[in-house]
Structure 1
Amino acid sequence: MKTVMAEKVLTVDNLKINFHTDSGEVQAIGDVSFDLAKGETLAIVGESGSGKSVTTRSIMGLLAKNAQVDHGQITFKGQNILDLSEKQLQDLRGSEIAMIFQDPMTSLDPTMKIGQQIAEPLIKHQKLSKQAALEQALEMMKAVGIPNAEAHLNDYPHQFSGGMRQRIVIAIALIDHPEILIADEPTTALDVTIQAQILNLIKNIQQASASSVIFITHDLGVVAGVADRVAVMYAGQIVEIGTVDEIFYFPQHPYTWGLLNSMPTVETRTGVLESIPGTPPDLLNPPVGDAFTARNKYALAIDEQRQPPYFQLSPTHFAATWLLDDRAPEVTPPMEIQRRWQRYIKKHPEALEQRAQAKEVSTTLALTGKEDM
């Protein structure tokens, strides 16, 4: 799966990660590939346990001790991050790739003053004096919207609200102007008003610094406002990836249909929201075929036998579903998805032809053509 885009700052190629546990091998990530362009925001969405955080923590070199990278590469500036020593990773973290963690309560040192925590990356990576670093920390506190920053430079984390603590975590991540910012569900614990403020803050700082952002979330409403592209993960794999419009208005994978169908919109009619039945598969013993088969009412017989390849619908849109195979029957998506398709096709009349071409490509995928669809 390759995409056509601007200058790439990061490439993840066929990444596979297992975890050794007392119960056996947890096959957490299976052959995940994606690129990140300069200045781009890539959102990674999916249910809890789909592999979003494990994928991005591998970029930071922050995997648990029982994790094993079976194969794959994570290329940044010509280097495979997976080959770096701990010392090299420490030099990389914060200075060139930084991460905003989900819970600011566990991300901040409760015994250390806020100013010192924000200044620490500058002291470590740029070797600034404590005074010079604190001056820049004060400016960053103002930049992330902490009111009366001078009076709070020497405060401790417990003296701030949840929204202010999250701003401090963002300040720490941004103080060294990293090229890549990974935001791991940074608004999950915040109320809607503070969520909007934090999202606008990340967006404004990104535009000012031309940094690239990987945004991890399960909230598709958040994705619509921040992302350029979206990768949908399920059971440790990317099942669909495309621009935000392609994923929101021309989705092709039944799992993406399920996620969108369970999200209320201003056009949602009264009644009960649809939900995806069942639970994700046990990754100690993952299914042989498509991992979504047991929960997929559109599943075909081949889904139980073989994982689907990626079908390309546009230079940026890929989906791994047998429904795009030329031999598969046409199915009727949920009504909400049909409405989204209609809206997309009005703007992009070529989309249906591209979908038909994607189905025709299945004859070149080295399949026997004899499987029972």
Structure 2
Amino acid sequence: MDPILDVRNLHVTFDTYGGSVQAVRGVNFQLNKGETLAIVGESGSGKSVTTKALMGLVAKPAGRIPEGEILFEGKDLAKLSNKEMQKIRGKDISMIFQDPMTSLNPTMKIGKQIMEGLILHQKMSKAAAKNRAIELLELVGIPQPDTRINQFPHQFSGGMRQRVVIAIALACNPKMLICDEPTTALDVTIQAQILELMKDIQKKMDTSIIFITHDLGVVANVADRVAVMYAGKIVETGTVDDVFYNPQHPYTWGLLGSMPTVDSTEEKLTAIPGTPPDLMHPPKGDAFAARNDYALQIDLEEEPPMFQVSDTHYAATWLLHEDAPKVEPPAAVKLRMKGMARRDSSAGEENPS
């Protein structure tokens, strides 16, 4: 299958008075048509910067892409000017940000904000754009769309505002949708509704989605594949089953161990010790070594390559080297793996296909 997006050796650097921050350091991944790829990791791991680079939204001149390729349908977005990217943003690639209130213009009616992209990119008349805007509001589950199209953002609840943001992102039928923690600001019930809505829309429109989150519970519900980021690099990648049921990198173990599940009420959540490294001066070896209870001497001296676990599963840890000692995930992680397996088997029995 030909990928719609192929990111190769992407580097993003921010120049500051104190020095250069290497926010993204050699990221590689692909996204196939109709697929959802989740990028997960702690705050500061480089997730959002990576996706802003895809959209051409890295703030210049402080931010720059010193090397790497972002091949979207064979075209390198990293080499395009801002004017050229404006023709792609909103039309071929759209983005949903974390906080809907900062994504919407409080002084403009909802309908006008949806119609803007349709008039600009689709060359629609105002009447046709208004009809399409009403259809989009209906698609994302907003009642009485023909009335609410004339209302302002403050007249909508948080969940409804996020639905409006999704409608704006979908207005021009984009081939790729980037979702930067779109449910973080919402309560759990509304979050579930938005995630269900996005899955439903993806089926209808066959859109490719990159989903940025730090919530592994969300990943299990929406993603086909997962890329785990740490200190500006992807340290593990695979299908959802690969990463959840057979995690290989100690950082992934730490993320899973800190995730609460229904079955783990009596088990204490584990925390990853320490803090991420200073990316103004990245460490010499494995960036996770200082926080890794299973670190080897080589982790302090040499950066691990990506080891292949299976056809779909890769992880950058020296523990996968043939000469490394055999280490298993901690008990807390195994418990969560078992809990998720039970949950998935129960879901399969309730919803037989």
TM-score scaled by length of structure 2: 0.94
- 2:7 match: 12
- 2:18 match: 23
Corresponding position: 1:100 with 2:93: no
- 1:187 match: 183
Q: Provide Cα deviations, 1:131-182, integer angstroms capped at 9, x if missing partner.
A: 1101100110011011111111111111111101100000000011000000
Query: Is this contact kept in 2: 1:277–1:295, CA < 8 A?
Result: yes
After superposition, the Cα gap between the structure-2 partners of 1:343 and 1:166, relative to the gap in structure 1 and judged at 3 Å, is closer
Give the alignment partner of residue 42 of structure 1, picking from 22, 37, 42: 37
Query: Is this contact kept in 2: 1:145–1:167, CA < 8 A?
Result: yes
SS of aligned partner of 2:87:
helix
SS of aligned partner of 2:263:
coil
- 1:63 match: 58
Structure 1 gap segments, 5+ residues each: 1-5, 346-373
Q: 1:217-296 counterparts in 2 under 5 A?
A: 217-296=213-292
Corresponding position: 1:133 with 2:133: no
- 1:158 match: 154
Amino acid at match of 1:206: Q
User: How far off its partner does 1:343 sit?
Assistant: 9.3
1: CA distance between counterparts of 2:80 and 2:142?
36
1: CA distance between counterparts of 2:325 and 2:309?
18
Q: 1:327-342 counterparts in 2 under 5 A?
A: 327-339=323-335
Aligned residues with identical type, % of pairs: 62
Query: Is this contact kept in 1: 2:269–2:332, CA < 8 A?
Result: no
After superposition, the Cα gap between the structure-2 partners of 1:341 and 1:101, relative to the gap in structure 1 and judged at 3 Å, is closer
- 1:352 match: none
Greater mean alpha carbon deviation, residues 215-224 or residues 263-272: 263-272
User: How far off its partner does 1:342 sit?
Assistant: 7.6
Corresponding position: 1:175 with 2:171: yes
Amino acid at match of 1:247: V
Amino acid at match of 1:296: N
Query: Is this contact kept in 1: 2:37–2:226, CA < 8 A?
Result: yes
User: How far off its partner does 1:332 sit?
Assistant: 3.2
Structure 2 gap segments, 5+ residues each: 342-353
Query: Is this contact kept in 1: 2:257–2:336, CA < 8 A?
Result: no
SS of aligned partner of 1:10:
strand
Corresponding position: 1:85 with 2:81: yes
SS of aligned partner of 1:267:
helix
After superposition, the Cα gap between the structure-2 partners of 1:267 and 1:341, relative to the gap in structure 1 and judged at 3 Å, is closer
Corresponding position: 1:52 with 2:47: yes
Which structure 1 residue ranges, 4+ long, deviate > 3 Å from structure 2?
Answer: 336-345
Amino acid at match of 1:64: A
TM-score scaled by length of structure 1: 0.89
1: CA distance between counterparts of 2:199 and 2:122?
25
SS of aligned partner of 1:92:
coil
- 1:371 match: none
How many pairs were matched up? 340
- 1:363 match: none
Corresponding position: 1:211 with 2:242: no
SS of aligned partner of 2:21:
strand
